[in-house]
Structure 1
Amino acid sequence: MRRRTRSLLGVALAGLAAIACTAPAAPASAADEPFDVLVFSRTAGFRHDSIPVGTQTIRDLGAANNFTVTATEDPTTFTTGTLSRYEAVVFLNTTGDVLNDSQQTAFESYIGAGGGFVGVHAAADTEYGWSFYGNLVGAYFAAHPAIQPATVTVQDRAHPATAHLPRAWNRTDEWYDYQTNARSTARVLATLDESSYSGGRMGADHPHAWCKTYGGGRSFYTGGGHTQASYAEPAFRAHLLGGIRYAAGRAKADCRPETGYTTLYDGATTGWSQAGPGGFTNTDATLTSTGGMGLYWYSAKQFTNYSLKLDWRMAGDDNSGVFIGFPPSSDPWSAVNNGYEIQIDATDAADRTTGAVYGFKSADLAARDAALNPPGEWNTYELLVEGERLQILLNGVKINDFTNTDPARSLAGHVGLQNHGADDEVSFRNVRIRELGAPGGNTTVQAEAFSTAQGVSPYAKAGANGGQTLGHVDPGDWAGYAGLDLTGVTALRARVVSGGPGGTIGVRTGSPTGPLLGQVAVPNTGGWNTFADVTTTLTGVPSGPRDLYLTFTGSGTGLFDVDDVTLVRGGGTGGSGPVRGLAGKCLDVRGGATADGTQIQLWTCTGAAAQTWTVTPNGPVRALGKCLDVSGGGAADGTKIQLWTCNGSGAQTWSAQPDQTLRNPQSGKCLDVSANSSADGQPVHLWTCHTGANQRWTLP
């Protein structure tokens, strides 16, 4: 958001007029720096008659898009020196074993040095015995029905390979089933709708195209491209071009695996409200700003700890922003004065250009520039809020790390999109959120979402959280998880299933042979569909982000599957300090009074005695020498919560729940901020538990 004279902390609002941009508009998209592509199409199995036309298509794309193409079927090309000449290598309908050991080693080194891989169709039917390649391509071919029309459902409309596509892409091709689901290790860009054709065997989640980072390089795979006709389709040609540009590092994208997000906007605007002038058009599941200066905000719910992701695109030198951490209001300036703006602007000063927390902290501009796509192309933000810490990721790269220290503001609250003014055009797609536990709380990781592994692989299983387990576990196998925060972790809990002999899970840091923090026996749980939890205490756990490894030992094969693992923090011993709730505000004794019956309310955190609570697990919560009390011991929704002389009754017993609610066991109901409003002075009361943001509390 640009302003001429108005401070962010604000004086009285003089007007809401939009400020016109004075810089000339940037072109719709910038030309790529020249690069080189190697197309490899050797076959040791079935040979597709589309290879020649596919090769010529890539040559044509190169001629029109500033890259040169070398085509070969000679595996001796795969040397370290020769591969280093290319920014990307395309495996075009390769089949069977096409490289020997030394050639495979050279290709691994190429990827490790930052090279790019593009797999087209039968690239998934290649090198079944080479685990590095299997992990790079993402999944191996299993089967296919006859060539026929089908609907491709586009899930990621920001990636350069899919941004141009409609959400339902109808075309004819040969549709592959795969031995595993790529979703746990890759960002799935598009899936197949099996109801639109005959013979699909993967079910409701059938990945068709995906991308990932792997071993230092980038990988893109598409299941399309069997037929000669495919390469004459403009949409498929653009799909292939986008994958090549991503693999070559010329277009940026967030290709991290993504699960567990809830859609806030993907065409439907339920729950959204406009504050101030202007607004957004809503076409093709895309919001585009018009007029302003206003704010389109998600009024249905406030959020406390979360990962917010959204895709955005500037038409030129335009201006917009994403606001977080503001209370409900029909005044767009309330978000400015009470929350924070994460800026979208191609120019302007360092603390108010793309990636900045507007007026407070610049992005790391070198990292930002390396991750940013130009105007005319889509970008993806992740705004990761943990307590009062905000991390900003652009296309999967962290570019800012900001901590709020202003007691009048918070990172918790509503989220919204700015429409800056008549001369600014910024579009948004696919706004989604994943709510997290309390900062410092337990962390659960899907076991199949490993960063590196040996021997194991994801396995689709009914009853598993996320639909998959970590399967094919044999003695000596292991799985690694990069960058987990181990601060305060005291135990590990694993959800397991076994119809086999069982075995042991070891927990290590640094490497599969690193220090052993603990281990736990996994029994035969009674069958491959009967899940159980096993827990072990951990000792010598280091603090901060670390690489964690699960190692597996036992006798025989097929020991067990692991569904997920939970890092357990602390011992639940209670403490003394503020109780923080909605919008980061504090549980407060109204007026600091000590009379029995004083209303308990929400208020901006001040550190006062009226906000200092002593919490006893499954017991009383005390402030100012008295107790948090349910008036009259009632159980009706809306019953007053008050301060009262401590008496040991059930009306003064509170139990902290894993979902962050604070429950009164006598009534079975929860401490709740009335009307879901974070205004200072808002009363708290008793209400049926629903785990919304107005029932989530962070205890000392």
Structure 2
Amino acid sequence: MRRLLRSALGAVTAAAAVLACTTPATPASAADAPYDVLVFSKTAGFRHDSIAVGIQAIRELGTANNFTVTATEDASRFTTANLAQYEAVIFLNTTGDVLDASQQTAFESYVNGGGGYVGVHSASDTEYDWSYYGNLVGGYFSSHPAIQQATIKVENRAHPATGHLSSNWTRTDEWYNFRANPRSSARVLAALDESSYSGGSMGGDHPISWCKTVNSGRSFYTGLGHTQASYSEAAFRSHLLGGIRYASGRAKADCRPETGYTALYNGSTTGWTQAGPGSFTNSDATLTSVGGMGMLWYSAKEFASYSLKLDWRMPGDDNSGVVLGFPAGSSPDGALASGYEVQIDATDAADRTTGAIYGVKSADIAARDAALNPPGEWNSYELLVEGERLQVFLNGTKINDFTNTDPARGLAGHIGIQNHGTGDDVSFRNIRIKELGTTPPPGGNTVVQAEAYTSASGVTKVSKSSANGGQAVGYIDPGDWTAYQSVNLTGVTALRARTASAGAGGTIQVRTGSPTGTVLGQVAVPVTGSWDSFTTVTANLSGVPSGSQNLYLTFTGSGGSLFDIDEFTLVRSGTNPDPGTGGRIVGLGGKCLDVRNGSSTDGTQIQIFTCNGATGQQWTVTPNGPIKALNKCLDVNAGASADGTKIQLWTCSGGGPQNWSAQADGSLRNPATGKCLDVSNNSATDGQAVHLWSCHGGANQKWTLP
């Protein structure tokens, strides 16, 4: 823990008026700018008798919500020039092979370039031999039982397609089983309760609607919509409208895959305590602020490094925030003084508007405005805390990146939501958390961004694309130092640092307690000839105290501008302290090589993703040998050599498809095929797949090894 717990102050529990009701369906915002959609309903297999009423329903939705509809079954309309006029293309109960190769190419280009896709019901029974489409729709149809009533569990109540629904939605339709579960590659919005009907065959985890991003495009799929009656249901029409608005870019949502989160609030306020005046009502698994200025805080546990996600909505010009890093028993004012507030108020000053670290650092306003849904609609936050670094994501887009350097404040501690005052009415849903770094990563080593210091003397944070995470500690002169608060040093025997120097070079000394504490070890930093040319140096340590300690790096040398430090690794006993053995592999856009959803299942897609310290981003590299994560190997699917071959995680076998060789140009080559590890479509979007490709030396084939 960052600090000793204080004795709890008196607190008032949140008001709980639990009502068994369903939020009524609400129309889309009237502020949507006009747009155009194409409805495509060609069939080469079974033809649904609901297609005509479906087209009419979409036309009616368009008339009421500011979009125009063109309906066609003419596949020749799938040209680059023609598709460019539409914000989204809806595959309405299509079946079979409906596009030829050139039409497929045009549609791929359309989506990759930012177009939207909506798949309705048997859109998943379409184009089985077109792998791009399979990824786009998210899952192929397998079978279905007879039409019957079932209960849908709504998992994401912030997406525009599901925000109007209650947690359970009971209706009648034809319920598809799918060949594979899409959860690993898409954000599941709703899933079937297989106990509520007969014929479900997906083992209890049965997604039925989901969304995802594909390169720069957006995809939404719903398995609903078989029957004619569906298209006259108000709740289904709102569901379909929300999917169209998301795919068309008129409503924003976080559609990144999500697993491993624990609910802190999803209807129950157990573990929550009210501090200060005001309260929160609790209705339909939604907390809504009343009066203030107070704070509802999660008193059951403190958190250190974590990903906190929650959904919020304000009806107008309102004010609230999420408070992080305060000790137990804090008053609302005390919590803001010892921790930080991530603000919710889109109309305030730059350093206290939505996405800002209140009073300290503004959000990226352009990115924030592009990601923000207007009052009356739900938004989603991810607050990613790694030590003293806080990244804020709004509807899946990063809008702030802040590192705490104030020794009197911190990010580790309790979390809370603010009730700001009378008239500031803000609602919250689905508050959930995933703890990070509670156990050492594979190999026992811990990677620390050098610029994430809690205090320092003399140095400056510098931005550079060659640094992992985009920043390094620079302008280091003799006598300067950096400090890192409450670092777990148990079992640490060495420190490995990534350094660059076009200056004088020098020495890194490792100390605990203070900048003048006992030197545990030191290492010379060589001149590398460029501030962007990094090398790795290792200091063997002795006499390292156990437990959480304040760690100091002190710097010596002759002259000024000694060197830069990007990151350092604490190497624990029993692991190899030599460079290149374990840690992150960083590629295009500063993103990390990542095992999708942290799954160790054979065949799991390897991708790039924002570096977050997860175990699925910790790789052990053997020179000219295997690269391992989660005790499995980076593998070329089936040992194939074709451009575009999938790169996956697979049980280690020692074969050629699992051996990799680092090249002087920064690429990773598979000697068995002579081809390179490549980020597909040269896109740094989170979740972008990596594949095998002919080596060309481009930025999407350059990797920084641990």
Give how far 1:225 is off.
0.2
Aligned counterparts of 1:241 and 1:205: Cα–Cα separation in 2: 25
2:658 to 505, 511, 528: 505
Aligned counterparts of 1:45 and 1:546: Cα–Cα separation in 2: 33
SS at match of 1:149: strand
Alignment of 1:10-159 (within 5 A): 29-159=29-159
Alignment of 1:319-338 (within 5 A): 319-338=319-338
2:631 to 461, 481, 495: 495
* Structure 2 CA distance for partners of 1:498 and 1:182, relative to 1, 3 Å: same
Give how far 1:499 is off.
12
Conserved in 2, the CA contact under 8 Å of 1:508 and 1:550? Answer: no
Aligned counterparts of 1:230 and 1:30: Cα–Cα separation in 2: 24
Q: Is 1:514 matched with 2:667?
A: yes
Conserved in 2, the CA contact under 8 Å of 1:352 and 1:359? Answer: yes
Aligned counterparts of 1:155 and 1:207: Cα–Cα separation in 2: 10
Aligned counterparts of 2:267 and 2:289: Cα–Cα separation in 1: 15
Aligned counterparts of 1:355 and 1:551: Cα–Cα separation in 2: 38
In structure 1, give the amino acid aligned to 2:106: A
Aligned counterparts of 2:144 and 2:376: Cα–Cα separation in 1: 37
1:66-123 deviation per Cα after TM superposition (whole angstroms, max 9, x unaligned) = 0000000000100001000000000000000000011001101101110000000000
The aligned residue for residue 233 of structure 1 is: 233
The aligned residue for residue 480 of structure 2 is: none
The aligned residue for residue 443 of structure 2 is: none
Consecutive unaligned residues in structure 2, runs of 5 or more: 1-26, 439-445, 449-581, 586-590, 622-627, 633-649, 673-685, 694-702
SS at match of 1:325: strand
Q: Is 1:266 matched with 2:266?
A: yes
* Structure 2 CA distance for partners of 1:516 and 1:437, relative to 1, 3 Å: farther
* Structure 2 CA distance for partners of 1:101 and 1:569, relative to 1, 3 Å: closer
Aligned counterparts of 1:251 and 1:189: Cα–Cα separation in 2: 15
1:524-551 deviation per Cα after TM superposition (whole angstroms, max 9, x unaligned) = xxxxxxxxxxxxxxxxxxxxx9999587
Aligned counterparts of 2:662 and 2:220: Cα–Cα separation in 1: 31
Give how far 1:215 is off.
2.2
The aligned residue for residue 249 of structure 1 is: 249
* Structure 2 CA distance for partners of 1:298 and 1:147, relative to 1, 3 Å: same
Aligned counterparts of 1:386 and 1:306: Cα–Cα separation in 2: 7
SS at match of 2:447: coil
SS at match of 1:89: strand
The aligned residue for residue 425 of structure 1 is: 425
SS at match of 2:400: strand
Conserved in 1, the CA contact under 8 Å of 2:28 and 2:65? Answer: no
* Structure 2 CA distance for partners of 1:518 and 1:271, relative to 1, 3 Å: farther
Give how far 1:480 is off.
3.5
Conserved in 2, the CA contact under 8 Å of 1:506 and 1:551? Answer: no
Conserved in 2, the CA contact under 8 Å of 1:509 and 1:549? Answer: no
In structure 2, give the amino acid aligned to 1:49: D
Alignment of 1:256-405 (within 5 A): 256-405=256-405
Aligned counterparts of 2:175 and 2:258: Cα–Cα separation in 1: 24
Alignment of 1:540-689 (within 5 A): none
Conserved in 1, the CA contact under 8 Å of 2:30 and 2:65? Answer: no
Conserved in 2, the CA contact under 8 Å of 1:313 and 1:377? Answer: yes
* Structure 2 CA distance for partners of 1:90 and 1:548, relative to 1, 3 Å: closer
1:261-282 deviation per Cα after TM superposition (whole angstroms, max 9, x unaligned) = 1110000111100000101000
Percent identity between matched residues is 66
Aligned counterparts of 1:288 and 1:52: Cα–Cα separation in 2: 42
The aligned residue for residue 409 of structure 1 is: 409
Give how far 1:33 is off.
0.3
Using structure 1 for the length normalisation, give the TM-score: 0.65
Q: Is 1:440 matched with 2:447?
A: yes
1:481 to 608, 622, 638: 608
Aligned counterparts of 1:508 and 1:282: Cα–Cα separation in 2: 56
Give how far 1:482 is off.
4.0
1:395-423 deviation per Cα after TM superposition (whole angstroms, max 9, x unaligned) = 00000011100001111111000000011
1:351-377 deviation per Cα after TM superposition (whole angstroms, max 9, x unaligned) = 011010000000010000000000000
2:603 to 458, 461, 471: 471
* Structure 2 CA distance for partners of 1:30 and 1:348, relative to 1, 3 Å: farther
SS at match of 1:384: strand
* Structure 2 CA distance for partners of 1:56 and 1:501, relative to 1, 3 Å: farther
* Structure 2 CA distance for partners of 1:568 and 1:250, relative to 1, 3 Å: closer
1:491-548 deviation per Cα after TM superposition (whole angstroms, max 9, x unaligned) = 43443476999764245789xx9324999xxxxxxxxxxxxxxxxxxxxxxxxx9999
Aligned counterparts of 2:74 and 2:352: Cα–Cα separation in 1: 52
Give how far 1:469 is off.
1.6
The aligned residue for residue 14 of structure 2 is: none
Using structure 2 for the length normalisation, give the TM-score: 0.64
Aligned counterparts of 2:285 and 2:381: Cα–Cα separation in 1: 17
* Structure 2 CA distance for partners of 1:504 and 1:362, relative to 1, 3 Å: same
State the number of aligned residues: 485
Conserved in 2, the CA contact under 8 Å of 1:159 and 1:378? Answer: yes
* Structure 2 CA distance for partners of 1:547 and 1:245, relative to 1, 3 Å: closer
The aligned residue for residue 609 of structure 1 is: none
The aligned residue for residue 213 of structure 1 is: 213
* Structure 2 CA distance for partners of 1:505 and 1:485, relative to 1, 3 Å: farther
1:309-365 deviation per Cα after TM superposition (whole angstroms, max 9, x unaligned) = 000000110000000011111511111110100000121111011010000000010
Aligned counterparts of 1:182 and 1:317: Cα–Cα separation in 2: 38
- Aligned-residue Cα RMSD (Å) equals 3.3
SS at match of 2:415: strand
Give how far 1:481 is off.
3.1
Conserved in 1, the CA contact under 8 Å of 2:584 and 2:592? Answer: no
Conserved in 2, the CA contact under 8 Å of 1:482 and 1:548? Answer: no
The aligned residue for residue 558 of structure 2 is: none
The aligned residue for residue 166 of structure 2 is: 166
SS at match of 2:601: strand
Conserved in 1, the CA contact under 8 Å of 2:583 and 2:620? Answer: no
